[in-house]
Each structure stands twice: as C-alpha cells, then as structure tokens.
Amino acid sequence: MRRSLPVFLAFILGCTAPQELATTTTTRSVTTSTAPATTTVAETTTAPSTTSTTTLPVLQGLVYEEVARLPFPVQMTALAGAEYSYIATKDGRVWAYDGSSVLDDPVLDISQNVLNRGERGLLSIVIHPDDATRFLAHYTATDGDTVVSEFTMVSPLEIEPASETTLLRHEQPAANHNGGMLQFGPDGGLYLGLGDGGGSNDRFGNGQNRETLLGGLVRIDVDDPEIEPELFQYGLRNPWRFWIDGDLIYIADVGQNAFEEVSVAPLTPDVNYGWPITEGLHCFQPSSGCDTTGITLPVIEVSHGDAGTCSMTGGIIYRGPAIPEIEGQFFYSDYCGGYLRSFAYLEGAVAEEMDWTPQVGEAGSVTGFGIDSQGEMYVATTEVLYKVVAQRG
C-alpha cells in the first residue's frame, strides 16, 4: 500500500484569537514544573540514566524506521502478545499490521459513516483488554456528532461493521476541538478525551462547566449500558492524546496560541486542569482574574515558537523490551514542530528530559503515537507510520 494524503494544517491546531498573557517566552527549550515556579532545561542528546539492566550493546540513540505510507494514520493499538496490531486512519478505516508490513485490505471500513474533514474523522481505536472480540472506536459521525461505538472482531482480520453498538453520541457545537483518545483504565472503565466544543477563548463556556462532557476526560462503563457516561476530569481545551500508566494519566492538551502542555495526575475523579483560567502555567486572560486554587498545573509547558510548536501531540509511556534504557519515559511531539521529546516522572517531578530530534530527525506533521503487540513504540504523521528503534554500538 503506497498512498498518501495532503497535509491539512487545520488538523488539531489551536485557534489564534488575540489574548493577553502574564508572560511569554520564545526560547528553544522546554519549561518544566511541578508548581507555578519554572526551570529551563537545555536540549540534550545524551541517553537518559536508567536503573534497567541489559546485556544489549550500548544504546547510541534512537532512529525512525518507516513501516508504511498510509492516508493520515492517527494511532496504533494492540493487545500484548497478539498476532496483529491495528492502525486507524482518519478516513474511517482500520488496518492490520503483522510486525513487518501492513496488510493490503482494511479489517474495518466505516468510512461511509465518518465525516473526515479538518479535525474530524476516525480519531481513536482500542481493544477491550479482557476480550479481544470487542473493538472500540471514536469517530465523527456525518452530522458532526462525536460517536464512541463497539464492534465485534469476528477474526483477527475482520471486524464486522454491522455489529456496531453505540456507547456514546454527543453533539458538537463546532468543527474543532473534538478531542480524540480512547483508552481503558486499570478500573476497567473506558476513558475518552473531549475538547471544549471548539472556537476560541472557550467560546461555549465548557472548560469549567461540570454539567457537560465537553472539555474533559469522560469515563464510559462498557459493561453496563444503564450507567451514563460521566465527566471524570475537566478543565481541558483539546486533549487530543493522553496515556494511562498505572494509576497516573498523562494528558497532552492542545493550547490556544501561546502554550502547549502535558499534565500528569492521578486517575481519580474531579481533577481540574484549569482551562480557560490557565493556559500552560500562565493566566489565560489575566484581566479577568486568575484564581488557580484547586487547579492541577501542567508538568511540561512548551511555548509556541519553540521549534515550530503549535499543537501538542502526546504520547505514550515506553515499556517495551527492545529499549530498556528508555523504560518509563513519556514521549511526545507536535503537529507543526515534528520533534521527538521525552521525560520521566519520578517521585512527583519531571526528570531526565530529552530531545531526541537531533538523532531521529523531524518526522513531519505528527498526528499520534502507538504501541504494537510487542510493546514497541510508533509515531504517526499525516503520511507515514514510523517505528522507533534503537541504534546500538
């Protein structure tokens, strides 16, 4: 398969309405914090320290290995140890990957039901961790609604479109900030990230509104249809991607026109990430007041202008066997910047920050990450799926 799709610059980008900020920075560095105070960490290309032991040759760095050219891949997902991994493309199709190549025919095609335009489309997929026949997808319906549905996987290479059971359908007031990610938590709940409804400046007032599912992390009970989906955490602008690791969640939230951010918090109810009171570590509109009481501030803030940053694309925690030296690192990128960066979150603080871009190069317009059935890491751009592999000496 050798197909490509033009880059849509509108995809997951922040809006650019003017605003007043407390401070702005334009340095090519990453600002980190566990509190409002900040420290600046310079770019480095040295492999992070680790407690992992290995008999492998010394890790010299990371490189991208091209896996496939696809029409706007957004995510890879898999069950550990399974024969196949699965790749979602924004046009509404799902492809199987056997570890060496992507099969020619999609295993699921719901493109006729998907509005593939701008930030909308097939946005995320996940397999039930306890039942490989249950395949779930988050997509934009042809009328613009957000839909989360379950499908039956009748075999590893066939998912039945007619088996669709809708778990959530939610009206969207605008075409952007539809969120994206689906992932199961350790409690068995399915978690969905939803944006604030679109526009700019939290136009619809959803960021701090706990009476809507928009602007938050939504929990869905996939086993009991009588339980309504609930707003689990809130104060998010457009959480295009997040990652659950044990009892922590790492949320990469897309900023408006000054700061992108990564927050780390317990996977517990009622966490408030601050939008639109805050953007990154800053007051979003200082003239309107900025009471940060009870707000969980990000641990990573990246300013626009830093390596072309415009729209944060998180991210996974790497826990694969091939590169034990980077175990526990959270990797993230940016749709415009195309870099590859990581950090470890140790004892409640950011550590071991890395910028791998000088080694791997700029990937292009990064749309998502993923892991295969062996736990190895992949980076998706609008046209190419890359595997991240070790370069050893």
pLDDT in the model for residue 132: 98
Query: pLDDT at residue 50 above 50?
Result: no
pLDDT in the model for residue 39: 31
Query: pLDDT at residue 332 above 90?
Result: yes
Contact 276, 284 (CB under 8 A): yes
pLDDT in the model for residue 288: 75
pLDDT in the model for residue 286: 86
Burial 32-59 (b: 16+ CB within 10 A, else e): bbeeeeeeebeeeeebbebeeeeeeeeb
Query: pLDDT at residue 36 above 80?
Result: no
User: Which amino acid type is present at position 115?
Assistant: L
Q: Sorting pLDDT into bands at 50, 70 and 90, what band is 53?
A: low
Contact 217, 236 (CB under 8 A): yes
pLDDT in the model for residue 46: 44
Cα 271-175-283 angle, rounded to 5 deg? 40
Contacts of residues 127-131 at CB distance under 8 Å and 24 or more positions apart, as own/partner, are: 127/77, 127/78, 127/79, 127/86, 127/153, 128/184, 128/222, 129/79, 129/184, 130/188
Q: What is the largest CA-CA distance in the chain?
A: 57
Mean pLDDT over residues 70-76, rounded? 97
Query: pLDDT at residue 13 above 60?
Result: no
pLDDT in the model for residue 277: 96
Percent residues over pLDDT 70 in the chain: 86
Copy the structure tokens of residue 37: 């105070």
List, in sequence order, the alpha helices (H) in the chain: 357-360
Query: pLDDT at residue 347 above 90?
Result: yes
Query: pLDDT at residue 161 above 90?
Result: yes
At residue 67, φ and ψ (nearest 5 deg) are -100, -45
Q: Sorting pLDDT into bands at 50, 70 and 90, what band is 20?
A: very low
pLDDT in the model for residue 295: 98
User: Which amino acid type is present at position 44?
Assistant: T
Between 36 and 211, residue with greater pLDDT: 211
Mean pLDDT over residues 207-212, rounded? 98
Convert the pLDDT of each residue in 258-314 to its tens digit. Answer: 999 999 999 999 999 999 999 999 999 887 779 999 999 999 999 999 999 999 999
Domains and CATH numbers, the chain: 30-392 (2.120.10.30)
Using the structure block, give the residue that is written with the tokens 């949320």: 251
Query: pLDDT at residue 227 above 50?
Result: yes
Convert the pLDDT of each residue in 232-252 to its tens digit. Answer: 999 999 999 999 999 999 999
Query: pLDDT at residue 14 above 60?
Result: no
Q: Sorting pLDDT into bands at 50, 70 and 90, what band is 257?
A: confident
For the chain, what is the mean pLDDT? Answer: 89
pLDDT in the model for residue 37: 33
Q: Is the pTM of this model over 0.85?
A: yes
